[in-house]
Structure 1
Amino acid sequence: MSVFFSQEPVQFQCPVPEETRFTPDELQEILSLLESSGGDSVSLSPNSGSEGSSRAVYNDNERRLRRMISNRESARRSRWRKKKHVENLSSQMNQLELENQELKKRLGSALRQCHVVWGENERLRFESVALQARLSNLYRILFTMQAQ
């Protein structure tokens, strides 16, 4: 039993899904592959086990067509995954840039505070040296007064 394609133009009963994104030229190529397959397009497999089996053996053109459609769908899914991956990386990059800016602000603030503390330590060191010198002078005066 064989199924034959008619030579009449093919009329689609339902719209082609937008996800396939076939160009008019690609659709024409697909239709020409179907038309060129001629009378031996689909034949029931003699090894199917039952006369009414719906298992079909496809000819080379049909296999090419099915493979082409499958490859296009696979490529579409791959592009979608790549797009999502790039979006995720972009989002992560934006988040890391914000975190980097925040860390730079905190580092700048810590460096300013460190500079202030360093200056205060220097001032206190000089004051300590001056006070030690004054205390030493006072001890000398005290010893001199006690010695007299």
Structure 2
Amino acid sequence: MLFAQDAVQLQNPLLETGFTASEIQELLSISDLPTPSPNSGLEGSNSNSNSNSNRVIYSVDERKRRRMISNRESARRSRWRKKKHLENLTVQVNQLEIQNRELKKRLGSVLGQCHVLWRENDRLTTEYLGLQARHSDLCQALLVMHDMSLLRIFD
């Protein structure tokens, strides 16, 4: 079994761990292990003579620890994204509540104007009916007067 102090350099740790070069650098800086040099084959070197000397084989415990660190970081990013999403939703709720209040206010104003216009329409309808009745009475009076004037002419 290999331990952290017995680490063997391999050519391409990216393929073994699934980490990017910057993630490996960060993990190594946290764990105080020797950091691979930039020319250690992280970009996929074809050198076969040094194939085993540039890659690091880690113990099972070390891989578990690295995976745990990676999972914690992933969980932290996930919590951060969830928090940002919740903040965005909260802002959206606040904006929609403001918009809803404004729309309710406008609706109340329009309904108030509508009520005023209904009352005015009722008043004008009543006035129209009164004027129509008066007009009818005047027409009847005019006919009566006309009939009387015709009777005088023939008398």
TM-score by length of 2: 0.66
Question: What is the match of residue 143 of structure 1?
Answer: 143
Q: 1:96 to 1:46 in 2, by over 3 A?
A: closer
Among all aligned residue pairs of Structure 1 and Structure 2, give the percentage whose two residues are the same amino acid: 58
**1:130 Cα offset (Å):** 0.5
User: 8 Å contact 2:11–2:54 — kept in the other structure?
Assistant: no
Q: Residue 43 of structure 1 aligns with which residue?
A: 8
Q: Distance in 2 between the 1:95 and 1:141 partners?
A: 68
**Kept after mapping to 1: 8 A contact 2:9/2:55:** yes
Shift of residue 44, structure 1, vs aligned partner: 3.1
Number of aligned residue pairs: give it.
112
CA contact (8 A) 2:4 2:58 kept: no
Aligned pairs for 1:1-148 within 5 A: 37=3, 39-40=5-6, 42-45=7-10, 49-51=48-50, 53-148=53-148
**Higher Cα Rg, which structure:** 2
User: Which structure 1 residue ranges, 4+ long, deviate > 6 Å from structure 2?
Assistant: none
- Given that 2:10 and 2:55 are in contact with CA atoms closer than 8 Å, whether structure 1 keeps it comes out as yes
Deviations 1:95-125 (A, max 9, x none): 0000000000000000000000000000101
- Of Structure 1 and Structure 2, which has the larger fraction of its residues in strand? 1
The answer for unaligned runs of 5 or more in structure 1 is 5-36
Shift of 1:59: 1.6
TM-score normalised by L of structure 1: 0.69
Task: Supply the AA of the counterpart residue of 2:72.
Answer: R
Q: Which has the higher contact order (CA 8 A, sep 6+)?
A: 2
47-56 or 65-74: bigger deviation? 47-56
